[in-house]
């Protein structure tokens, strides 16, 4: 059954990429606008595959769960989100401008997706469906950490290699972000494991991605503004020299 869960996960990703490519050819949807349009299908597919393998709503995490543990991990994740935000603000301009995310000309779809939608879509798939199904059939743990949590955390990180293949980020950036992503993924997975609810991982995921993308857009605007001012100053100096 764990192999079936992995097969469904791969099939799910393939379907979403396939449909996304069709929409890119047939419509003007791109980037985060496309992700927003695809979100209902993404969620529906996850729920369908969960029903096929026999996951109950409770096993999928559709419950309040252990509120005390869940809200505690939400609180503990706030420093991580702030560190991510601060690292964006302090990163070299060259590195920032290589990132395809954070389009300053169309920030609204990006902010809506990162603050409200991404957590629902990805946590339902990777934590609720994949980790939930693994946990149901792999009753193994090390200290307080279930093997299903570890496996799902690594799978979630390596799926981001798709960003490299889609040229959404460089392999260098993927390597650089590997450990921070793994840490964030483990926190999300362990929060799901200990709270038995998707609510808290969704909040954490949206918080981290929302702050990161907000910082990225803000930083790109600053860089572009600074470059524009330098260019304007150089043009003014050239005009003065000609006179």
State the pTM of this model. 0.88
Torsion of CA 110, 114, 120, 126, to 10 degrees: 100
Among 13-17, 150-154, 157-161, the least confident range: 157-161
* Token output for 177: 């972000």
**Mean pLDDT, rounded, for 24-30:** 94
Q: How far is CA 98 from the centre of its chain?
A: 18
- What's the distance, CA 14 to chain centroid? 17
Copy the structure tokens of residue 132.
Answer: 């939930």
E strand residue ranges, 24-76:
none
What is the per-residue pLDDT for 91? 86
Q: How many domains does the chain have?
A: 1
pLDDT value at position 74? Answer: 96
The pLDDT of residue 139: 80
* Radius of gyration from C-alpha coordinates of the chain: 20
3-state secondary structure of 141: strand
Separation between Cα atoms, residue 231 and residue 121, nearest integer Å: 42
Measured CA angle at 121 (ends 120, 126), to 5 deg? 100
Cα separations (Å) of 43 from 1, 66, 128, 192, 203? Answer: 21, 24, 11, 18, 17
Residues 84-141: tens digit of each pLDDT? 899 899 988 888 888 878 888 889 999 999 999 999 999 999 999 999 999 988 888 8
CB atoms within 10 A of CB 51: 12
- Domain, as residue range, for 167: 2-242
Confidence at 230, pLDDT banded by 50, 70, 90:
low
Q: How far apart are CA 116 and CA 179, in angstroms?
A: 25
């Amino acid at each position: 059954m764990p192999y079936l869960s992995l097969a469904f996960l791969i099939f799910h990703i393939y379907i979403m990429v396939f449909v996304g490519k069709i929409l890119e050819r047939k419509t003007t949807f791109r980037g985060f606008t496309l992700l927003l349009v695809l979100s209902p299908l993404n969620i529906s597919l996850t729920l369908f595959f969960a029903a096929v393998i026999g996951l109950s709503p409770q096993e999928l995490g559709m419950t309040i769960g252990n509120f005390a543990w869940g809200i505690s991990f939400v609180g503990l994740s706030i420093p991580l989100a702030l560190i991510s935000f601060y690292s964006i603000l302090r990163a070299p301009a060259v590195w920032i401008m290589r990132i395809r995310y954070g389009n300053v000309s169309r920030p609204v779809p990006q902010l809506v997706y990162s603050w409200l939608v991404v957590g629902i879509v990805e946590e339902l798939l990777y934590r609720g469906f994949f980790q939930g199904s693994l946990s149901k059939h792999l009753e193994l743990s090390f200290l307080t950490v279930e093997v299903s949590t570890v496996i799902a955390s690594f799978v979630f990180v390596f799926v981001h290699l798709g960003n490299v293949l889609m040229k959404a980020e460089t392999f260098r950036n993927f390597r650089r972000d590997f450990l921070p992503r793994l840490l964030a993924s483990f926190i999300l997975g362990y929060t799901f494991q200990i709270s038995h609810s998707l609510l808290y991982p969704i909040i954490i995921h949206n918080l981290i991605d929302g702050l990161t993308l907000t910082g990225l857009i803000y930083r790109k605007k600053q860089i572009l503004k600074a470059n524009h001012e330098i260019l304007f100053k150089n043009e003014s100096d050239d005009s003065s020299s000609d006179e």
